[in-house]
Structure 1
Amino acid sequence: MKVRLKELGTIFTGNTPSKKVDEYWSNRNIKFIKPDVIKDELCVISSANEYISASAKNVSRIVPANSILVTCIGKIGRVGITEEEVSFNQQINAIVPNEAIIPKYLAYAIYANRKQLKAIANAPVVPIINKTQFSDFKISICESVEKQNKIVRTLDVISEIITHDKKKIEALDELIKARFVEMFDDNFGEIVELGNVCDVRDGTHDSPKYHNAGYPLVTSKNICDGKIDFSTCNLIQKEDYVKINKRSKVDVGDVLMPMIGTVGNPIIVNTDKEFAIKNVALIKFKDDSVILNTFIKTLLESDYFGRAVLSKTKGGTQKFISLGDIRKLEFNLPPIELQHRFATFVAQIDKSKFAVQKSLEKTQLLFDSLMQEYFG
């Protein structure tokens, strides 16, 4: 049956105690939850970046353990479950579930409807869902508490498998970084600037008109999880595609790196699909290059790059790094033979990652289909 969220518990919108009152923030008595600690995946909220004092309790929104927090400003639809009493800010709505519904089941039900939540956000610049909209939002639920518990147990098992596979991939990525440091941290070789050994440029800064059909325009937000997500790209006409690619044509083997918003996270292009880029760094290599794309990608993922370039990110809400800073990145140029040895090691690790990724995709597909069956 379909019910409004307000029928399933008491709903609160968070607030922020005055920062001008020092005693409200002087002790770490109660976690103060902001959207940055609620992950894209459904999560148990076990940490916080800020805390309020017990003296701020009377001027704060406080909810008990097993409450459901949902982000409703900016990044809409992130869902977390509290494991203890917490306070939370005005970008979050909370539900304290009643006896008609299991808290974890309610969390899964809201998480399954996050796309629908995003659809009702009513602001063109910063998406927002107010308390009334949130309270009246309808979801499909099963009335039987016993059935709710069974569904939660099934989804929890699959979620654990997904988490396990993601941690495997993260561990393999860390292994590559560790091997990189082991092989190249002796600082031998000539000091060079990236712009002198590679062709470093970026995509268009213009805003071409979008269409229902055409060529994908890849921006920073379309590069995630180590690949280009073409399904989220806006499409442009051939005239704009040709114009952009006169100076920024992307070829297989090039390195792309987001420069605006979520900066960093480079990828090596492994598709010959036709597309153009906007506000994305493009690093190209010659056939007789003294540098390999595998070395450069890992360098751009390293702590050294974070200190040398990412620490210089500019902007407030929208972070960005300049093309000049990327071009001026200095590093020791190792022998090409050593780079090839490293590339061989990475290729072996990538085979293991591919197998885990395939397993992850199958499990994720199962999870998504069950979510549709239970809550669609």
Structure 2
Amino acid sequence: NKKSWKKRLLNDLVDKIGSGATPKGGKESYQDHGISFIRSMNVHDGYFNYKDLAYINSTQAKQLSNVIVQSQDVFINITGASVARSCIVPDDILPARVNQHVSIIRCKSDVLNPIFINNLFLNDSFKRILLSIGLSGGATRQAITKKQLEMLKIILPPISLQNEFANFVHQVDKSKVVIQKSLDETQKLYDSLMQEYFG
């Protein structure tokens, strides 16, 4: 915080911090389609992993109405070996709910940008703080409580700067996709030529 920006408690900057539960019957109750059910295995640092995405029906979803996921929500894992991993919800999985191992953080848009806070969570020094909180209970299972999330001290640049940063991140991500596509096409061409000459 070289700019000496103000620090505020996360609780003052969000509309919601909350985690869900596993529907009755556990894994056996999951559906082939329906409402997305987010588990810690889906939340990775900076990206959402669609592999093994579970689904629940509308009755199960109704029981989790306190953890309805909204666009721009930030996910953070709060228990287990993947504690402190975070990403932003992709809109294509909505409607969705979360289980008890994942917390939703919903920013107040006039003071906190979700891309900014997610990147703060991914920052090495802040990640160490989150991981140390996860280990602080002394239990065998790593965990971050709702209260601990609420009490996190967050550096708070002006929202205009946060939005500028978010736009920059968005442009970088778009560039990464273009570069990756180009690399994939180059690899295909290389493989095709190798096959032609040496196959």
- TM-score bucket of the superposed structures, by smaller chain: 0.7 to 0.9
Question: Aligned pair 1:201/2:17, yes or no?
Answer: yes
**SS of equivalent to 2:76:** strand
Q: 1:352 to 1:329 in 2, by over 3 A?
A: same
Cα offset for 1:353?
A: 1.8
So what's the TM-score if we normalise by structure 2? 0.76
- 1:216–1:230 contact (8 Å) kept in structure 2: no
1:325 aligns with 2:148: yes
Name the % identity: 29
Cα deviation, 1:248-296, whole Å, max 9, x if unaligned, reads: 1111111111122212221112314222101211111234x21111110
Residues 269 and 359 of structure 1: CA distance in aligned 2, closer, same or farther (over 3 Å):
farther
User: Which contiguous aligned blocks of 4+ residues in structure 1 show a shift greater than 6 angstroms?
Assistant: 360-365
| TM-fit CA distance, 1:364 | 9.8
2:21 maps to amino acid: H
Residue 248 of structure 1 pairs with residue 67 of structure 2: yes
Q: Deviation digits for residues 288-322 of structure 1, max 9, x if unmatched?
A: x2111111011111133223322121442x42222
Q: After the TM superposition, which residues 190-339 of structure 1 pair with which residues of structure 2 at under 5 Å, given as runs?
A: 190-209=6-25, 210-213=29-32, 214-224=34-44, 226-244=46-64, 246-261=65-80, 262-272=82-92, 273-278=94-99, 279-287=101-109, 289-314=110-135, 315-316=139-140, 318-339=141-162
Greater RCO, CA 8 A, separation 6+: 2
Aligned partners of 1:201 and 1:248 also within 8 Å? no
Instruction: State the TM-score, normalizing by the size of structure 1.
Output: 0.43
Tell me the distance in 2 between the aligned counterparts of 1:212 and 1:364: 38
Letter in 2 for 1:208: K
Paired residue secondary structure (1:297): helix
Q: How many residues align?
A: 179
Letter paired with 1:258: N
Matched residues in 2 for 1:225 and 1:191: separation?
24
Please, what is the CA RMSD of the aligned residues?
Answer: 2.7
Alpha-carbon distance, 1:340 to partner: 2.2
Q: What SS does the corresponding residue of 2:91 show, helix, strand or coil?
A: coil
Distance change >3 Å, CA 222–CA 359, structure 1 → 2: farther
Matched letter for residue 243 of structure 1: Q
Residue 194 of structure 1 aligns with an amino acid whose one-letter code is: L
1:2-37 deviations in whole A, cap 9, x for unaligned? Answer: xxxxxxxxxxxxxxxxxxxxxxxxxxxxxxxxxxxx
Report the Cα distance in structure 1 between the residues aligned to 2:37 and 2:186, rounded to whole angstroms: 30
**Aligned-partner Cα distance in 2 for 1:353–1:225:** 16
Q: What is the aligned counterpart of 2:171 among 342, 345, 348?
A: 348
The CA distance in 1 between the partners of 2:186 and 2:133, in whole Å, is 39
Alpha-carbon separation, structure 2, partners of 1:334 and 1:225? 23
Distance change >3 Å, CA 235–CA 305, structure 1 → 2? same
Larger Rg: 1
